[in-house]
Amino acid sequence: MAAIALKCPRYKVTVVDVNEDRIKEWNSDRLPIYEPGLDNIIRKTRGVNLFFSTEIEKEIKEADIIFVSVNTPTKTFGLGAGMASDLQYWEKTAQAILENSEGPKIIVEKSTLPVKTAEAMERILRANSNNSQFEVVSNPEFLAEGTAMQDLLEPDRVLIGSHETESGLRAAEEIVNIYAHWVPRDRIITTNLWSAELSKLVANAFLAQRISSINSISALCEKTDADISEISYAIGSDRRIGPKFLKASVGFGGSCFKKDILNLVYIAESYGLSEVADYWRMVLKINEYQEERFVANIIKTMFNTVVGKKIAIFGFAFKANTGDTRESPAKFIAIKLIQEKAILSITDPQALRNAQIDLAGTGGEVTFDPDPYKAVEGASAIVVVAEWEVFKTLNYADIYKRMKKPALIFDGRNILDHQQLFKIGFNVYPIGKPNLTHFE
C-alpha cells in the first residue's frame, strides 16, 4: 500500500486494522516491522496520501477500492486442521465490507487464499445486495521479505485475476491502471480469477521445491566427495534451470512456503488427486528432514551429548534482512537443543524480540545478545542459521579465542570462509560439503 501511495499521488490510501497498537506503531517513528527502505517511503507518504486508521467502518464506506490483506493462517482445529487456511478473519472482513458499503466497490483479494475463495467472498458480498455492487479481483502478492520494497517497485510481474465478464474486466482494468503508474504494461498479467489465485500457491510451491531439491542433494553430497555449492553452480548455469533458489540451507522457513504448500496439498486432496498431493507433500517432508538431520549432526558431532554445553545460534530470523521468525528453522533447532539440555546464546541483528517470544515457556537456559562477540563467550559451538551479511565479516580469530576448545562451527547456510576458519583452528561442519576437522 505504501508503494501505491508513493507511485500514485492522486490516490488516497488508508490502511485500517482492528489492532490499535499496530496502527499507533504505523503512525509512529518505530514501525512494527523491519523492512529495508520501508521507513523511507512511509516518511514520504504518511499524512500526504497514506493514512493509518482503526476507523474500519468509515473507511469502508468511503473507499472505491478495498484491498483485503488479512491474515489467513493454517487452520489449527476441525476439518482441514494443519492444512487448510483459517478464513475466519477474512470472512469477518467480508461481512464488515457488506455491512458498511453504500455504493459499488472493487474488492481486491491480496491475502494468500486457497483457490476459489474469491467465489466464497462473492457469495458473502452478494448475499444482501444487487449483483452489480461488488466486483472481486485477485491480485496476489509476490514480494519477499527483506527485499519487499525492491520487489514492489520493480516487480517481475503483477498478476490480476478477474471474472471474464464485462464488469469483471472493467474492475481488473481499474487495478491495472494503478500498477501502470510504475510497472511496464507487459509485466502486468491479467488472467481469470482462479488462475491468479492458484498461481500464487504454485509460485511458492515451485520456489520451495527448488530448495528441497537442492537440500536433498546436499545429504547425498555429505555421503560422497561432491560439493553442493559446485553442483548448484554447475546446474544453475543451465539457462533452463537458472541460478536462483539453489542455495542449500538448513531448510526454508517463512510465513508462506509451508502454508501455501499445505494449502495446495489440501486442495489436491479435496479433488481426489492423491498423487498430486503426495508429490507436493514431499517438498515439506524433505524440509523437515533437512532440519532434523542438521540438529542430529550437531548432537552426534558434539560426542552425542550437548548437556550443559553452551551453543551460540547465529541468526534467528527465517532468513537475513528481516526480523520475522515465523516457521524459522532456528526455532526448530533451538527447541531441539533445549530439549537436549544445551545452554543457548542467540544473536541476531533484528529478530531477538521475536526469538524471545518464540522461546518463552520452553524452560531452556537461553540468553539473547545482539553482540555476536558476547554471544560466543565460553561457547563450544556456533550454529549459523540465518545468512546475515554481518556474520561473514566478523573477526573469527577473536571469536575463536573467546570460545571453549575444541571450537566447532556448523554453517547451516554455507556463508563463511571455511578454509580460513579451519586455519584459525575451528572444526567446520558445512551443509553438503566435506567437513574440515582437526580431529584424527
Annotated active-site positions, please?
256
Binding to ligand UDX, residues 144-183 (CB under 6 A): 144-145
Residue 212 binding ligand UDX, by CB under 6 A: no
Cα 345 to Cα 367: distance, rounded to the nearest angstrom: 5
Residues β-bridged to residue 135? 106
Residue 216 — φ and ψ, nearest 5°? Answer: -65, -35
Among residues 11, 142, 182, 279, which is the contact residue for ligand UDX, using CB under 6 A? 142
Whether 162 contacts 171, CB under 8 Å: yes
Q: What is the dihedral of CA 250, 255, 258, 264, to 10 degrees?
A: -150
Q: For ligand UDX, which residue of 94, 106, 118, 246 counts as binding (CB under 6 A)? A: 246
Please select the residue that binds ligand UDX; options are 3, 106, 207, 298, rule is CB under 6 A. Answer: 207
> In whole angstroms, what is the distance from residue 150 CA to residue 159 CA?
17
With beta carbons less than 8 A apart as the criterion, state whether 317 and 323 touch: yes
**Closer to ligand UDX by Cβ: residue 207 or 344:** 207
Smallest gap from Cβ 242 to ligand UDX, in A, equals: 11
d(CA 387, CA 146): 12
- In the complex, what is the shortest distance from the CB of residue 313 to ligand UDX, in angstroms, rounded to a whole number? 15
Min. distance of Cβ 139 from ligand UDX in angstroms? 12
CB–CB of 127/99 below 8 Å? no
Per CB under 6 A, the list member of 34, 252, 280, 316 interacting with ligand UDX is 252
From the CB of residue 83, how many other CB atoms can be counted at a distance below 10 Å?
21
- Identify which of residues 135 and 387 has a Cβ nearer to ligand UDX in the complex: 387
Restricting to residues 281-340, which ones interact with ligand UDX according to CB under 6 A? 318-319
Q: Which of 155, 253, 430, 432 binds ligand UDX (CB under 6 A)?
A: 253
User: Minimum distance from CB of 232 to ligand UDX (Å)?
Assistant: 8
Segment near ligand UDX (CB under 6 A); pick from 49-57, 70-78, 203-211, 358-366 = 203-211
Q: What is the largest CA-CA distance in the chain?
A: 79
Per-position b or e across 343-358, b if 16+ CB within 10 A of its CB: bbbbbbbbbbebbeeb
CA distance 132 to 404: 71
Q: Which residue number is nearest to ligand UDX in terms of Cβ?
A: 254
DSSP-assigned letter for residue 341? T
Site for ligand UDX in 26-65 (CB under 6 A): none
The DSSP 8-state label assigned to residue 316 in this structure reads -
Size of site (CB under 6 A) for ligand UDX = 19
Q: Which residue's CB is nearer to ligand UDX, number 101 or number 218? A: 218
**Residue with Cβ nearer ligand UDX (309 or 433):** 433
Residue span binding ligand UDX (CB under 6 A) among the ranges 4-12, 204-212, 308-316, 388-396: 204-212
Pull the grid cell for residue 87. 478464513
Cα distance between residue 204 and residue 293, in whole Å: 24
Nearest approach, Cβ of residue 134 and ligand UDX (Å): 26
The whole-angstrom separation of Cα 145 and Cα 197 is 20
How many angstroms separate the CA atoms of 16 and 7, rounded? Answer: 20
Nearer to ligand UDX, 142 or 422 (CB): 142
| Binder of ligand UDX out of 254, 372, 430, 432 (CB under 6 A) | 254
Helix (H) or strand (E) holding 381: strand 381-384
Q: How far is the CB of 319 from ligand UDX (least distance, A)?
A: 3
Shortest CA distance to 72 belongs to which of 56, 85, 53, 82? 85
Nearest-approach distance from CB 234 to ligand UDX, in angstroms? 15
Judged by beta carbon, residue 1 or residue 143, the one nearer ligand UDX is 143
Shortest Å, Cβ 201 to ligand UDX? 10
Q: Does 143 bind ligand UDX (CB under 6 A)?
A: yes
Residue closer to ligand UDX by CB (options 100, 195) is: 195
Radius of gyration over alpha carbons of the chain, in Å? 24
Report the residue number, 41 or 98, with the smaller CB distance to ligand UDX.
41
| Given 11, 89, 194, 245, the residue binding ligand UDX (CB under 6 A) | 245
Q: Cα–Cα distance between 431 and 440 in angstroms, integer?
A: 21
Minimum gap (Å) between residue 292 Cβ and ligand UDX: 15
Name the residue nearer to ligand UDX (CB basis): 152 or 424: 152
Q: Give which of 135, 200, 198 is closest to 169, Cα–Cα.
A: 135
Could you list the beta-strand ranges (E) of 224-282: none
3-state secondary structure at position 245: coil
Q: Which cell goes with 308?
A: 550443559
Q: Which of 85, 111, 138, 204 binds ligand UDX (CB under 6 A)?
A: 204
Residues forming contacts to ligand UDX in the complex (CB under 6 A) are: 141-145, 204, 207, 211, 245-247, 249, 252-254, 256-257, 318-319
